Amino acid sequence: MANLERAPRKSFNDLIYDLIFKNYVWQSIFRTGYPNTPRNQMLAVATNVFLHLHPTRIHRTHVKITHTYCLGGLSFFMFLGLTVTGVLLMFYYVPSVERAYQDIQALEANVRFGQLLRNMHRWMAHAMIILVLLHMMRVFYTGAYKPPREFNWVVGVVLFILTLLLSFTGYLLPWDQLAFWAITVGTTMVGSAPVLGDESKFLLLGGFSVGPNALIRFYTLHVIGLPLVISIFLAVHFWRVRRDGGLARPL
Amino acid sequence: MVSRAAAAVRTRPRREREQEVLVWPDLVFIEFISALIFSIALMVLSAMVNAPLLNRADPDTTPNPSKAPWYFLNLQELLLHMEPAWAGVIVPTIALVLLAAIPYWDRDQEGQGVWFGTKFAGRLAIFGFTAATLITSLLIIWDGSLHVVWTENIIRGLGLNSDFSWPGGLDWFRNLRGFDTGIPWDSLGFTIGGFTMFADWRAIPLGIPGTTTDPWLLNLNFPSFLSQQIIPVATMVGLPVLFVLFCKALGWIHTRRDIALLIFSAFIGVYLTTTIVGTAFRGQGQDLKPPWDIVVLEE
């Protein structure tokens, strides 16, 4: 006997849904359907290279805003934003003593949204330092550095230092009076180190005072050297958060 | 033998499923919203406030005051009160090493995952932060000789003595360098038997003649060494110790975590105070000034 029951007619919404999420191309990219069922939601996290930084499920206290205030995540978000705005800034900037300052002036005056771009980069850099500091305070006051997370705290301290160095190397690039003298003061402090002071200062500046060599060194460190190093430490930091069991919880 | 980390995971009570939420959507949503809020806030800030751009760099024109980026102004502030090697390199290095070493010293797993996990944590944090902020401010005021200016102004202002000035006998208490310049070191030499000790405190011979060529080993300027090295370092080591002893006497400290809480909070207080003073209260010649009186001159 033939089955007389017919499939219910699809509504318009279902048609659209199938069109978007059940076609060959979408499923080649995301494998799972739209994350509207618990199964798909877990798969969405587990099968996505960016989201699989997270576990698929976490303890409910960890999504309370007041537990972390999102500080670590926001620090990383600042890093991403600084990378994007930084790459855009590189289009308009040449790190030579002759051109650096006028490039910044031209960026502000002639480039559409150029001033906004530069402002974003600068304020994000300040925000990142503040957020990293606050994140460190959050981790400390919640006792989240305790075993088994000792080493990740050390990685965090290294990340803090790298954040300061990234900001410091970027500070010279506009080649204005503020930049020049701030770096002069900063590197003079390095030069006062007891044993290798003068040598470290020379290594940093490529000379005895802030000049063309210092500019190209700071630029190279700022746009590629330090970002590479901090990316490695970030990877370790995030990996260890997962490996050590996510956020710290009371025993 | 199970490693400590493995033991920590093993002793943790098994999570109950009903205590858990799905990362998508519960966490991803929060991350998305917070990123959105920050993007918008920074966009608005950037639309309203321009990043500074002064004149083109000119090695021949020094701005007064010259300042490092704001996050290093705490170190530049220290630089005014002690030997540059301590302020610029040794103190920050030691501070960072100690910071990184906290978890290797405070190993108890108790009290993790909750804000201010011990009984007196809140008090220790508030006390450490407040006391450190106050003491640091007072020390900065003292080393800036503001107490001298204020005393003179008050006594003159009250009409007690219209040409009052800080008494010469108290010159050593004008500021930190007062210990160097305000004490008659030359007359402080003494003799033991027939042997004269340190008639010249400013050139105490340390090196053995003919054995070393390093000039810094040869003569020690004791008054300068005292004011630029001994006193600052003794203060930086002594105050935290006093803090711990004081809170122990109050019965607030029971574990290493408590000590860490106290010292870390005090560190944050000092860090903030020196950063703020260095940023907003240092004018020409690095003199203490209210923020509205600070102008930058190019010389």
Distance from CA of B48 to the nearest CA of A (A): 9
Contact yes or no for A186/A170 (Cβ under 8 A): no
Cis previous bond, B65, omega within 30: yes
| CB pair distance less than 8 Å for B264 and A55 | no
Cβ under 8 Å to A: B residues 8-27: 8-9, 11-12, 15, 19-27
For residue A188, list chain B residues with Cβ-Cβ distance below 8 A.
88
Among B22, B97, B299, the residue to mutate for chain A (most A Cβ within 10 A)? B22
The set of long-range contacts for B148-155, using a CB threshold of 8 Å and a minimum separation of 24, is B148/B174
CB contact under 8 A, A45 and B28: yes
Kindly report the backbone phi and psi dihedral angles of residue B58, in degrees, each rounded to the nearest multiple of 5, phi listed first: -140, 105
What mean pLDDT value characterizes chain A? Answer: 93
Please name every residue paired with A13 in a beta bridge, in sequence order, or none if there are none.
none
pLDDT tens digits along A134-170: 999 999 999 999 999 999 999 999 999 999 999 999 9
Chain A CB contacts of B42 under 8 Å are: 81, 120, 123-124, 127
Please write the tens of the pLDDT for every residue from A63-111.
899 999 999 999 999 999 999 999 999 999 999 999 999 999 999 999 9
Q: Which residue has the tokens 């075993």?
A: A147
Quick one: pLDDT band at residue A240, thresholds 50, 70, 90? very high
| Interface contact flag, A157 B113, Cβ < 8 Å | no
Per-residue CA distances from A161 to A166, A232, B84, B92 (Å): 9, 14, 20, 11
Question: Is B152 within 8 Å of chain A by CB?
Answer: no
For residue A17, the distance in angstroms to the closest alpha carbon of chain B comes to 19
Q: Which residues of A touch B96 (CB under 8 A)?
A: 157, 161
Chain A interface disruption, residue of B19, B71, B74, B80, most A CBs within 10 A: B71
- pLDDT 10s digit of each residue in chain B, 299 long? 456 666 655 555 565 677 889 998 899 999 999 999 999 999 999 999 999 999 999 999 999 999 999 999 999 999 999 999 899 899 999 999 999 999 999 999 888 999 998 999 999 999 999 999 999 999 999 999 999 999 999 999 888 888 888 888 888 899 999 998 888 888 887 887 777 777 788 877 776 656 555 555 567 888 999 999 999 999 999 999 999 999 999 999 999 999 999 999 999 999 999 999 999 999 998 999 999 999 888 87
Residue A135: which of A86, A78, A200 has the closest Cα? A78
Separate counts of helices (H) and strands (E) for chain A: 12, 1
Rounded CA-CA distance B267/B248 in Å is 18
Name the DSSP letter for residue A59.
E
pLDDT of residue A62: 87
Buried b (16+ CB within 10 A) or exposed e, A129-143: bebbbebbebbbbbb
- Put simply, the answer to whether B54 touches A177 (Cβ < 8 Å) is yes
Q: Which one, of B68, B83, B44, lies nearest residue B231 by Cα? A: B83
**Among partner residues B54, B109, B115, which is closest to A251 by beta-carbon distance?**
B109
**Complex ipTM tops 0.85:** yes
| pLDDT in the model for residue B254 | 95
Show the 3-state SS of A95-159.
Answer: CCCCCHHHHHHHHHHHCCCHHHHHHHHHHHHHHHHHHHHHHHHHHHHCCCCCCCCHHHHHHHHHH
Contact B4 A192 (CB under 8 A): no
For A6-20, write each residue's pLDDT tens digit.
777 788 998 998 888
pLDDT at B163: 84
How many Cα atoms sit within 13 Å of B14 on the Cβ side?
A: 1
Mutation target among A61, A98, A192 for the B interface, most CBs of B within 10 A: A192
CA distance B238 to chain A (A): 23
* Interface contacts A/B by beta carbons within 8 Å: 247
**DSSP 3-state of A15:** helix
CB-CB under 8 Å, A144 with B5: no
The minimal CB distance from B113 to the residues A44, A129, A142 is found for A142
Considering only CB atoms, A248 lies closest to which of B45, B79, B113, namely B113
pLDDT value, residue B3 = 62
Domains and CATH numbers, chain A: 11-51 (no CATH), 68-243 (1.20.810.10)
Which range (A49-58, A165-174, A176-185) has the least confidence? A49-58
Q: Cβ(B117)–Cβ(B260) under 8 Å?
A: no
In chain B, positions 109-148, which contact chain A (CB-CB < 8 Å)?
Answer: 109-117, 121, 125
Residue of A nearest to B84 (CA): A192
**What is the residue-wise DSSP string for chain B?**
---HHHHHHHHSPPPPGGGEEEIIIIIHHHHHHHHHHHHHHHHHHHHHSPPP--SBP-TT--EES----GGGHHHHHHHTTS-HHIIIIIHHHHHHHHHHHHHHH----TT-SSTT-STTHHHHHHHHHHHHHHHHHHHHHHHTTHHHHHHHHHHHHTTS-TT----GGGGGGSSTTHHHHSS-GGGG-EEETTEEE-S-GGGEE-SPTTT---HHHHEE-HHHHIIIIIHHHHHHHHHHHHHHHHHHHTT---SHHHHHHHHHHHHHHHHHHHHHHHHHSB-GGG-B--GGG--PEE-
Distance CA A118, CA A90 (A): 11
Residues in chain A within 8 Å Cβ distance of B50: 108, 115, 119
CB < 8 Å from A in window 65-94 of B: 66-72, 75-76, 79, 84-85, 87-90
pLDDT of residue A103: 97
